[in-house]
Each structure stands twice: as C-alpha cells, then as structure tokens.
Structure 1
Amino acid sequence: MKEFVEYPDSELMMLDLADRLTAELGEALRGNDRATFCVPGGTTPGPIFDVMSEQSLEWDRVFVVLNDERWVEEDSPRSNTALLKRKLLVSKASEANLIPLFKNGMAAEDAMESLAEGLEPHLPISVLLLGMGADMHTASLFPGADNLMAALDADAPLLMPMRAEGAGEPRITLTAPVLNDALNKHVVITGAEKRAALERALKLPPEEAPISAVLSGATVHWAE
C-alpha cells in the first residue's frame, strides 16, 4: 500500500477523491491522445461519479471500463453497466467512451476473447478506482471463486469469468495483472467493518484476501 488517507467524513472523501481522479485523468490526457478510467460498480462510488460527471475534461478522449460486471442484461437492476450510465456517463461525462464487459445472448466464457480484444488497445489503465467488500474481495476476485487463482496469476489473461458463492450471478472481471499495471491506483472504502477487513487483508495471502493482490502502489481512501 502506497498511502492510507483517512477523512473526517464520507462526503469530504467523495469530493476530494473526485477532484483527485479528475486531475489524474487530465494529466494522463496531457501526455497521451486518450486515457482509460477503470471504475467499480455498486453504490459506493456513486457520489464520486456525481461530482466527476460535471467536471470539465476532454471526456471524448476518456475510455471508461468497469473493474467487473455481473453477467446480466442491462435492463437488470443488478447491471453495473446500467448504473454507470446513470451515474457517471451523464452531463459533461456523457461524451466519454464505454468499453463493454457484456455481450447479449452469450455465456460469459464464450465472450471473453471478443471483449478482451475491445479492452486491450486501452491498456494500461490510466486511473483505477477499486472498491472492496467486507469479505476482502475486489472487482470480482472473490475468496473461494472458481477461477480466482488463475485470475491472480502473473500470466492471467486480461479478463476472466468468475463464479463464487457470495457473488450471486456469474461475473466477468479484469484480472490482477491488468489492475496492477494501472498507472494511478486508488481503493475507496467506508465504515469500520471494511477498515477492519483491510487490516486483516494486509496479513493474509491473496487467495484468502484478494484485495491484498492489488494493494501494491495503491492509495487507500477511508471514511467512517
């Protein structure tokens, strides 16, 4: 872990992190013709996205990809893609480009190759934001998942399907090497339970605490 930043409250954390991520994307765009922004699903980053979507940035040169996706249609309330379109890809950020992690009418395993082909030109990730569950999972790297060890391997492919007892539906996830190659890496967590989980993860191997596989060089942001 590069740095642990503690905030007095979650609202301040979300505002500060939104500013920091926007600044890092701007810096990436100054040195390149495009930037890749990799983000989590779920509700935690929603306030960050609300702020970022209103920021002045050359969004048409930003490519956004999820850390992972549930293998469900976009009209499902469980779709991370649908949530991302509602929370981040609006207002000024509506000009950003979405890199898809789902294909209609296909099993996750059958879509890996074509989805990876769409992702590869946009690597390495310029700015990465990760979340973490109380079970110490990040992206869809879940403890006990069927493909966890393969996804943690240094030679893992860019994307892998993932099934785990705590995951609900099948998932697709970016693998540990792709996440670790990010040029700027951040983890956002809230609450005492997740802080305690993070502290446990620092002492556990990645197969038990997958978040530990991607903490090297990461700044962790925490608020109660």
Structure 2
Amino acid sequence: MAISELELPATVTAHQFTEPAKQAEGLARDVAERLRAAIAANGTATLVVSGGRSPVAFFEVLAKQALDWSKVLVTLADERWVPVEHADSNAGLLKRHLLVGEVAKARFLSLYRPAASLEAAALETDRALAELPGIDVLVLGMGDDGHTASLFPNSPNLAEGLDPHSTRRCLPMLAPSVPHQRLSMTRALLARARFTALSLQGAGKLATLRAALETGDAQHMPIYAFVQDPLDIYWCP
C-alpha cells in the first residue's frame, strides 16, 4: 500500500519517502524553512511537536538545521503527567534529542505541572498556554488506535478535546490502553497552527489512516478531525 492509494480530502497534501531517514530529512527541512519564514516575518517562531519514540530521528535532523533558535519557542502537543526526570517524559525526550547544541538556545514551554491532581495540573498548563503567541509549525504523530496528541478514543474528555469551539487550551486525558495520565492540547488550540504536519511510518499506520477516513468518526478515531483542516502528511514505508 502507498499513500497515493488513499482517497485523501482536498485539504491534505501527501509527501512520500522511500525510507525513514529520508522522511526525517524531508520533514526537518520543511519545518526549518517554515520557522525561518516565521522569524523573518514576525521576529519569533513557535514550534509544537509530539513525543514518543517515532520522532527521534526527525528531532536529531532538525537539531542540525541552520536557523536562529534563540528566537524559537518550542513546546509539546501533549505530555505524560510525570516529571522531566522520568524515563517516559516527553520533555526529557526533547532535552536529549532536540534541545541540544544551538537548539538549547530556544525557549522551552513545558506542559508538565506538579499539582494535587491531573485536573489541577491541566488548569495550570491551560493558563501557561495563554501566553502562546500562536503556532507556526505543528508536528503530529498518530497511534494505531487513531489517536493524535493525547486525544485518545474513549477518553472521558475526548468530546471537549475535539470541540473546535472549546475555550480550553489543555485538558487532562486518560486512556486505559496506555500508561500514565496525560495532558493534551485541545483541537481548538492545535487547529490554529499555520502549518500542520502528520508524520507516519509503515503500512500499519497507513491502514489506520485509511480506517479513519472510511469511518469518518472523530470520536472513534480522533485523527479524523485533523484531516478536515489543511494538513501535510509525511509518510514512508
């Protein structure tokens, strides 16, 4: 199966690569170009990325791109509710693979907040995100269940998380199939991105995307909500 075989909405642009290394290079090149343009136009740029193991190669290539990182704000689309020192922290992942060398000059806005409860932490993060000047570049991933960011199927807060008119920027998210409670940006905030990329690898992820398109139900497969807006998909086998 190739991404060209999918019936993608007119809002979606597909980029196909032959291998993961070329996908990482292509995505990093395009992201850096968009960040440079934002800096040239506005003096600053905001980059929102997703965590997990899949984007590590992309992070490492992006870290080598030439741009004025001191003018970039970096944050995450979602985070596990664990301190940065925890092995499963997405912030810790970024500090190891992206926020190194010249990129360490970027400002990092953490989603994690120590608080008495996940809901209290989400409210604190929501307030912190109010200072976000906008999102110039957003890089999403997708799970085998069709989730993106931490907008998981069957999570109690999913309907609000997908509501394009929600006033919340961050919500507590739960999923019985994954460890750790989560903090996630809402679709209402993520949809403001000027450029959104979805990074996918393998036939399995392509099959998941096809199922989401055929199902047409964002509550069942949340990624469906994001293919209704302008989206660039970067895929390799």
Output the TM-score relative to the length of structure 2. 0.91
Q: Aligned residue for 2:190?
A: 179
Is the 8 Å Cα contact of residues 55 and 92 (structure 1) preserved in structure 2?
Answer: no
Q: Which runs of structure 2 are paired with 1:76-95 in the superposition (5 Å)?
A: 76-95=86-105
Task: Return the offset for 1:105.
Answer: 4.4
* Equivalent position SS for 1:63: strand
Q: Is the 8 A contact 2:113 2:124 kept in 1?
A: no
2:202 — aligned with what? 191
- Between Structure 1 and Structure 2, how many residues are aligned? 224
Q: Distance in 2 between matches of 1:47 and 1:187?
A: 15
Pairing 1:98-109 to 2, within 5 Å after superposition: 98-109=108-119
| Alignment partner of 1:15 is 2:25 | yes
CA positional deviation for 1:73: 1.8
Calculate the aligned-residue CA RMSD, in Å: 1.2
Q: Which amino acid aligns with 1:58?
A: D
Question: 1:201, CA displacement in angstroms?
Answer: 0.9
1:161 is matched with: 172
How far 1:119 moved relative to its partner? 1.6
Q: 1:160 to 1:105 in 2, by over 3 A?
A: closer
Corresponding residue of 1:212: 224
How big is each residue's C-alpha offset from its partner over 1:173-215, in whole Å with a ceiling of 9 and x where there is no partner? Answer: 0001111110001000101100010111112210011011112
1:223 aligns with 2:233: no
Normalization by structure 1: what TM-score? 0.96
Unaligned runs of 5+ in 2: 1-10
- Structure 1 gaps, min length 5: none
1:131 matched residue in structure 2: 141
Q: Secondary structure at the match of 1:165?
A: coil
Provide the rounded CA distance (Å) in 2 between the counterparts of 1:59 and 1:192. Answer: 35
In the other structure, the counterpart of 2:129 is 119
